[in-house]
Structure 1
Amino acid sequence: MLTLLIRALIFLVSAFLGLVASDLLVPGFTLHWNDWWGIVLAVVIFAVLQSILAPWLLKITRRHANALIGGIGLLSTFVALLIAVLIPAAGIGIDGPVAWIIGTLVVWLITALASWLLPPLFLKKKVDERRG
């Protein structure tokens, strides 16, 4: 149970890092820092949607368009960002096609790297306990 909670926290942190990186690097991609609750909401909405959409889109792609399987992460990131932007209370805004494309790439890359690099840092002790 604790491992599941740590993994969920890692996914939320990776989503936050991806959104912040896009805010810092991509013109037209903005987090509304004056509304901290909106940013928390945007991170949670994005993380939950990403975790739901990725497996669902993978299943659909396997069935109907096998060649697109490699782009599932990007597609689910784009759709999750789109839905998060459409929710008025979420503290995120994306203006222009370049911001959408580059923002999606940056968020996807940072969340993928963080999801890969963070678990060994936080779960190493737990794995060592189980082995010992």
Structure 2
Amino acid sequence: MFAFVIRALTFIVSAALGLILADLLLEGFHIHWNDWWGFVLAVLIFALIQSVLAPLVSRLTRRHAPALLGGIGILSTFISIVIVVLIPGAGIGISQPLAWIVAPLIVWIVTAVATWLVPPLFIKDDRRDARRA
């Protein structure tokens, strides 16, 4: 249970950081900071959609288009961003075509690096310790 909570928190925080970084770096990507609750809602919805879409897209891709397996994370990130942008009051807007392409890349890179680096800092792998003994 502890590992699940750490992974979930890591993904939510990294999604927020990725969206903030996209807001800072991309002219056409906007977080509406005057409504902070909208941003929190956007992050939570994004994380939920992403966690549901990633396995689904992976399964569909593996079955119908195995050559696309490497792009699953970026594709599910893009779909999650599209859905969050379309939700009224979610606090995120995209106004330029380049931002539609680059924002998912930024968010995907931040979440991928965070979910790769952070959980091992907090989650002890008992199997690795058993092999050392």
Same fold (TM over 0.5): yes
Partner SS state of residue 77, structure 2: helix
TM-score relative to the length of structure 1: 0.91
Matches within 5 A, 1:31-110: 31-110=31-110
TM-score relative to the length of structure 2: 0.90
The Cα shift of 1:79 comes to 0.1
Name the amino acid aligned to 1:98: L
Partner SS state of residue 88, structure 1: coil
The Cα shift of 1:3 comes to 2.1
Residue deviations 1:68-122, cap 9 Å, x none? 1111111000000000000002011111210100111111111111111111233
When the two structures are aligned, how many residues end up with a matched partner? 129
Structure 1 runs (4+) greater than 2 angstroms displaced: 120-123
Task: Give the equivalent residue in structure 2 for 1:10.
Answer: 10
Provide the C-alpha distance between the structure 2 equivalents of 1:35 and 1:117, rounded to a whole number of angstroms.
31
Q: Give me the identity figure in percent.
A: 62
Provide the C-alpha distance between the structure 2 equivalents of 1:108 and 1:3, rounded to a whole number of angstroms.
21
Provide the C-alpha distance between the structure 2 equivalents of 1:99 and 1:108, rounded to a whole number of angstroms.
14
Name the amino acid aligned to 1:35: D
Partner SS state of residue 89, structure 1: coil
Q: CA RMSD in A?
A: 1.7
Structure 1 unmatched ranges of 5 or more: none
The Cα shift of 1:51 comes to 0.8
Provide the C-alpha distance between the structure 2 equivalents of 1:36 and 1:120, rounded to a whole number of angstroms.
31
Provide the C-alpha distance between the structure 2 equivalents of 1:92 and 1:6, rounded to a whole number of angstroms.
26
Provide the C-alpha distance between the structure 2 equivalents of 1:127 and 1:60, rounded to a whole number of angstroms.
31
